[in-house]
Copies of this chain bind each other. A is one copy, B any other.
Amino acid sequence: MDFEVLVSNAALHGASGAIIYTDPEEFAPDGPLNTFPKSWWLPDTGIQRGSAMGRQGPGDPLTPGFPSVDGIYRNPLNKSGLPTIPAMAMSYGDAKEILRRMKGPKAPDDWQGGLDLSYHVGPGFKDKRLSLHMEVNSKLEIRTIYNVIGKIRGTEEPDRYVLMGNHRDAWVFGAADPISGTAILMELSRGLGELLKSGWRPRRTIMLCSWDAEEIFVVGSAEYVEENAQILQDRAVAYLNMDVAVNGNFSINVDANPLLQNLAISLTKEILDPTVQNSQRSMYDVMVERDITKHVNGSPFCDNLSFGSDYVAFYHFIGVSCADWSYIFGGRGTHGIRRSYPVYHSSHDTFYWIKTFIDPEFKTHLAVGKFAAIFLLELSESPLLPFNTTTYANLLHSKARELERNWHFKRRNINSTALFNAVNNFAKVSHEFEANKVTINTKDLRLVNDQMMQLEKAFIQTVEPNNPRQLRHVIYGPDLLNLYGGKYFPRLNHAVEIAIKSGDWQQVEKEISLLTFSINSAANVLKPI
């Protein structure tokens, strides 16, 4: 699924080009006849596109960390980290013609796919006279992109920004990705317009953002964040993202940073689920019932934010609290619940597909729109920000224990006492903070809100070099083998992986210190002033 990793690895292993196709095993499991336009599954002519950028970090690869504006210096192409070989996407109908002719050892069982043939890994074809001619007509060029930002100035706290965004570019028609989100953002914008006409003004400044060039690794939003990093890190309360707002009729799915996870889950209780006829069951109820991977004993949880959409730079570069949601396709795939949908990034992601198979009356779009609206207004209107630090405390605790279970620092004589002390200290400070918050007086609102707003920023580390440099969050970061995923304590885990091979654990000790320091800094932010 991750184009960039596939292409980079192919290049590393000496390939002169890469062809990527999506296997019917996951995208057309009912067989070649029961596909689009008869069903929602991907037909054998369908091509899932993707970006081969990404490993060098979000945004323009020629201006990492800096806004790609007129007159700015651009790194030379050969230092950009872009893949060095051409790549193209193909349908499984076409790929089949190549695959069935390939020689070499039989592929391992878990590489065998859904095509009616035996998968071999090559190199080369059984018929020696055959060779593969790859012609790629993509152009490498610098193009102008446009972000469109609408702003409603807050009356009480004009210098506190609540942002919501969605991207505008699509691989082809993009009815789900991104237009399901774009439609909601437009409707929400219209609704806020009506409120403005009636004399309403928000407490905090609201910004609605239509991003360009998301599909080539969040260039629009990342460049915006880079250009405005200084004011956003001082003023942004949260960034709410919708990308594929609706791509199925299974369940709402919300990802958020730990501070917003409680709010995100609780808001799903406020909206009636659109896929249950004549019922009074909320999105929350339906999520608990259907999405068994997202709750523990009936208590749903959010995942943290990965690297798949326009929140990347907000969260991982400058530490702004973020959430992202989608009404997902669902159903069980080979690898668990399917969160994506079969025609993802293909030319079949159309109005017809959405209307015929997913949301004929656009009730799901409406319900997700309502969810978006209350999320935005909770953040822009609540005098006390509806953030919760307890989730962070619990998360740090469980993830730190996981570290010890995975890597056995004690057994290796690596001293991690300071880290565990920091985690316990954070829990203690957070506990007091939450207790005091309940009785806060109006005069101290701003002060306490600032503490919550700034907490996440304590995890952005700017002293040691980061790689990629735009991914600076020490608690949650990229899994460079799967940019749709992520992992906790990315720097520390990476250092351990290297130490296990090299036997030199010095950098691990340094990373434990760095993490300890960040967690203590975060606790300092929450301490009584």
Contact = CB atoms under 8 A, between A and B. Distances in A.
B514 A66 contact: yes
Contacts of A479: none
Interface of A: 64-67, 70-73, 75-76, 153, 158-159, 205, 227-231, 234, 415, 417-418, 421, 446-447, 450, 454, 457-458, 462-465, 469, 506, 509-510, 512-514, 516-517, 520-522, 524-525, 529
A457 B318 CA distance: 14
A234 B71 CA distance: 31
Given A71-B417, A75-B510, A229-B521, 14 more contacts: A65-B463, A66-B517, A67-B517, A71-B516, A72-B418, A159-B450, A228-B521, A230-B525, A231-B521, A231-B524, A234-B454, A446-B446, A462-B462, A463-B469
25 contacts: A66-B463, A66-B513, A71-B415, A71-B418, A72-B418, A73-B510, A75-B510, A76-B506, A153-B529, A158-B447, A159-B450, A159-B529, A205-B529, A227-B521, A228-B521, A229-B521, A230-B454, A230-B521, A230-B522, A230-B525, A231-B525, A234-B450, A234-B525, A446-B446, A463-B469
A228 B71 contact: no
B72 A513 contact: yes
Contacts of A66: 463, 513-514, 517
Contacts of A71: 415, 417-418, 421, 513, 516
Nearest to A462: B462
B231 A513 contact: no
Contacts of A516: 71-72
How many copies of the shown chain assemble into the complex?
2
Nearest to A416: B71
A153 B159 CA distance: 25
B418 A230 contact: no
B159 A447 contact: yes
The 8 closest A-B pairs by CB, nearest first: A71-B418, A65-B463, A462-B462, A73-B513, A230-B521, A73-B510, A230-B458, A72-B513
Contacts of A70: 418
Q: Dominant SS at the A interface? A: helix
A484 to B, nearest CB: 26
A472 to B, nearest CB: 8
Contacts of A529: 153, 158-159, 205
B512 A73 contact: yes
A67 B513 CA distance: 10
A228 B527 CA distance: 12
A328 B181 CA distance: 66
A506 B520 CA distance: 40
A463 B227 CA distance: 12
A419 to B, nearest CB: 9
A517 to B, nearest CB: 6
Contacts of A517: 66-67, 72
Contacts of A76: 506
Contacts of A415: 71
A145 B98 CA distance: 70
Nearest to A157: B447
Nearest to A510: B73
A421 B447 CA distance: 37
B464 A65 contact: yes
Contacts of A447: 158-159
A227 to B, nearest CB: 8
A520 B227 CA distance: 9
Contacts of A153: 529
Contacts of A525: 230-231, 234
Nearest to A453: B234
A133 to B, nearest CB: 38
Contacts of A510: 73, 75
